[in-house]
Structure 1
């Protein structure tokens, strides 16, 4: 009302007041001064659109999975990145080290050690057998490698634990790996109808109650009718976990995993194209091929098209004019044809620095330092060790994830079966959840951290043990991945054998001198 009144008396002043009010509306405050600014010229061209996990993740999963797996199969850098994580985090497979709470169970240390040794022996009987796999192709440790690599490439993997008896095997537990693509919404359901979101069925409170698994891979070209099986996450009567779902969550309400390579898919593909183009250019420039141009015959007739091209030189049998260049090859051209070359004048000196810069960015996104990503340690000892330590943080985190989400649940399922069939004795295991937890506690040991200077690493381990910061058992696992107690028993046997054979001369001389001193004190010869 005031503006309208002023406009009647002084239109110019009313215009200035309106302009000032508009200027107040566009002033930046807080994040609008930088990342959320819509007025800066540098940010106006930024096209963006946010959404929930359904729009941002679920609707893009098929494309992300297929592109990620394509990079793994066809791009060396992507293959190396995933296998580097697999090899350092899992290696040959995480090995069981039973660590029961013997104090809570009322057992002595000797009784606990005997129980743990028996369980580890029984578990090895199952884990090292092909019967651990539902396909009867891999043992438990090889299944860990497959599951983890698929988890990295596809973003997730599902694990079923069926029981199938075998006449020559004591245990019926099997591990069935299910690729994430097969968990999808059944035909006829769209969006979030029937509380099914991307194959995940939700309860009244948004919790996961079941998964819908297709009987065949959705990308398979085989014939057959697609059918979906509904598998509840937990059994109604037993409460056991019927299906393990290995994935990393980035946001709340996220129920499907994202491939590890997703943030760097474009960079990896463009870098692969650039490397291939440079390789092709270098190859072509290194070839020396001679083209001979002919003239028309006396009668004026030309030679047949492609007459001078041998079949072995043709790359494409459909196109007769497509020729493969080779060092020292001689190719005859038809009358009137000329061979022209294209020199793109690439600056090859900038290839390596540019590729290195891109790989450093991708390494930061994948949590793999550049030196570890390309296995190129040319810096100082301190810099190389810092890179290894930084990478080892990520490796340990993923190893812990795999141990808790894959190895431990399967071990607890196996231990339950072993107790039920009488192979393992554990009083109260089935009645009290605290007793069950006490018996089920375990460590999962994998490959040790790499060492640049083993002597320095061993000296540091000795000092940590002497100062009480660590134990011999822990240092043995981290340095060599071994078992201290088994090493100790083996060393006792070895030393006794050496002394019995008279090979440990310093020890024999010390014992002889000590014996002479004792005899002199007792007055004996």
Structure 2
């Protein structure tokens, strides 16, 4: 080992020391900043009300989640735009058919195992009718409530139960039952926001508030502090993660909540002003100083009825015009600007969110809708990865063990699937897709893309939410049927179909929305 020898200190020079000093902001004698800084970090009179203290996600959620969720729910009850957003989430992420299973099992030769695919998909569809633990929801309705809860409340809890023909049922649990203020310990594990975690930060159990046995205590059990410990392997806790080590979900409309509330109040005030302006047109003012006593007296003062076309005599005959002259021309532009900001925070296109197609043409509609559709597709992918795929894998393993999925055989009883479980896992989940903005142009573009071999017919079918195998099988069956009936298609007669008509991109049209 080399011996360590202490070096002699270098001589200190005033110019070198000055260069090595950290460049920290400091004030001169007259208070002016000598070093540049980020404008957003300056603590001056313009930034006086801006926080300069950073908080952990757990701390922010602990102090704010309950209020945010209460206000988000209130807006969902009373605000049309908040309700519209929740509807857009359900319509575009789930859709009419929900997220659909497409089994992709292939045999040892790489060919589709159609019998196994059909057996798995049939059993999955049968389970969907009885998936809800309480027996109220079909699987599609279950998905809709799931997504509306995640979007509105920021998170959802799904508890897994044994029961029914397939011994697998699901229960949706209100996230309010996971008390965000419950912090403590349980057998050496920490409890943060009612979630019990181990030393590595993994959830071990969830401590849920439970309803009382009587009707009165059942209705008020949100304020009770009686908890039931549920192991983590029985719970799926689904929420979008925005911060490192985030343990609870935040309502998606949190950034726009204040603006939604103020905008609703602004609309109400404008509506009242417009009604007053249309109802009460003027007064007759007293010249002798007599005071009008009103129609009736209340604790807050005098009340006066206002009816359309009325002139009120309040003493004397001098006319005093009253006209609030509101709302005026800036009302619509102001509403539009506010809704644009809210839609940006929600990640949706303004035209669909605000139901405003006044300035839409093909190009602008396509740009806005395509970007928003990417948001919906991303949310579908998140839902499939974090919820539906987990449910399907557990369900499939359980059915494999119970032998409830059977393969039909000719002249023999059906046979339960008996290969390794990994053989049957091959599958994809297809979310809803949308119709084209301009079908003629989209079809022409797809036709050229297929001719250039930069895409496939299967990919185009998947983009429309279909299953290529089912579409091709249906086409083959249809062709055989038409041939048997003596009906020739344009492809068989070599007659070209009429070319699609081109449309001017700049002509405004009602292109619809994504919702």
Q: Which residue matches 2:486? A: 502
Q: Which residue matches 1:204? A: 199
Q: Is 1:460 aligned to residue 445 of structure 2?
A: yes
Partner deviation per Cα, 1:252-274 (whole Å, 9 max, x = no partner): 12100000011111111111111
Q: Unmatched 5+ residue regions in structure 2?
A: 1-25, 286-292, 406-415, 495-515
**Structure 1 residues 156, 366: closer, same or farther in 2, change over 3 A?**
same
Q: How does 1:364-403 map to 2 (within 5 A)?
A: 364-377=344-357, 378-403=359-384
1:322 deviates by: 5.2
Q: Which residue among 69, 73, 76 is the counterpart of 1:69?
A: 73
Question: Quick check: 2:156–2:173 contact (8 Å CA) kept in 1?
Answer: yes
Q: How does 1:90-489 map to 2 (within 5 A)?
A: 90-92=94-96, 93-100=98-105, 102=106, 106=108, 108-110=110-112, 112-127=113-128, 129=129, 131-165=130-164, 170-184=165-179, 189=184, 195-216=190-211, 222=219, 226-234=225-233, 242-287=234-279, 325-327=306-308, 343-346=323-326, 348-377=328-357, 378-424=359-405, 425-427=416-418, 429=420, 436=422, 438-479=423-464, 481-489=465-473
1:284 deviates by: 2.4
SS state of the match for residue 245, structure 1?
strand
CA–CA separation in structure 1 for the residues paired with 2:432 and 2:339: 26
Partner deviation per Cα, 1:319-368 (whole Å, 9 max, x = no partner): 9975664446899x9999x9998644435100111111111111111111
1:108 deviates by: 4.1
CA–CA separation in structure 2 for the residues paired with 1:328 and 1:42: 50
SS state of the match for residue 175, structure 1?
strand
CA–CA separation in structure 2 for the residues paired with 1:319 and 1:35: 47
Q: Which residue matches 2:500? A: none
CA–CA separation in structure 1 for the residues paired with 2:469 and 2:274: 57
SS state of the match for residue 196, structure 1?
strand
CA–CA separation in structure 2 for the residues paired with 1:427 and 1:387: 49
1:443 deviates by: 1.8
Q: Which residue matches 1:54? A: 58
Partner deviation per Cα, 1:488-511 (whole Å, 9 max, x = no partner): 33333333333333333878878x
**Structure 1 residues 405, 508: closer, same or farther in 2, change over 3 A?**
closer
Q: Is 1:79 aligned to residue 83 of structure 2?
A: yes
Bigger fraction of residues in helix: 1
SS state of the match for residue 219, structure 2?
coil
**Structure 1 residues 491, 395: closer, same or farther in 2, change over 3 A?**
same
Q: Unmatched 5+ residue regions in structure 1?
A: 1-18, 235-241, 294-303, 310-315, 430-434, 511-525
CA–CA separation in structure 2 for the residues paired with 1:447 and 1:117: 21
1:180 deviates by: 1.1
1:283 deviates by: 2.2
CA–CA separation in structure 2 for the residues paired with 1:173 and 1:477: 30
- Alignment RMSD: 3.7
CA–CA separation in structure 2 for the residues paired with 1:116 and 1:161: 25
Q: Which residue matches 1:522? A: none
Q: Which residue matches 1:9? A: none
Question: Quick check: 2:277–2:325 contact (8 Å CA) kept in 1?
Answer: no
Q: How does 1:20-31 map to 2 (within 5 A)?
A: 26-29=33-36
The range that moved more, 86-95 or 446-455, is: 446-455
Name which one, 1 or 2, has greater alpha-carbon Rg: 1
1:162 deviates by: 0.5
Question: Quick check: 2:160–2:169 contact (8 Å CA) kept in 1?
Answer: yes
Question: Quick check: 2:162–2:168 contact (8 Å CA) kept in 1?
Answer: yes
Partner deviation per Cα, 1:134-168 (whole Å, 9 max, x = no partner): 11111111101100010000000011110123xxx
Question: Quick check: 2:146–2:156 contact (8 Å CA) kept in 1?
Answer: yes
CA–CA separation in structure 2 for the residues paired with 1:72 and 1:21: 54
1:392 deviates by: 1.0
**Structure 1 residues 413, 501: closer, same or farther in 2, change over 3 A?**
same
Q: Which residue matches 2:501? A: none
Bigger fraction of residues in strand: 2
CA–CA separation in structure 2 for the residues paired with 1:385 and 1:145: 26
SS state of the match for residue 134, structure 2?
coil
CA–CA separation in structure 2 for the residues paired with 1:334 and 1:44: 50
Normalising by the residue count of structure 2, what TM-score does the alignment of the two structures yield? Answer: 0.76
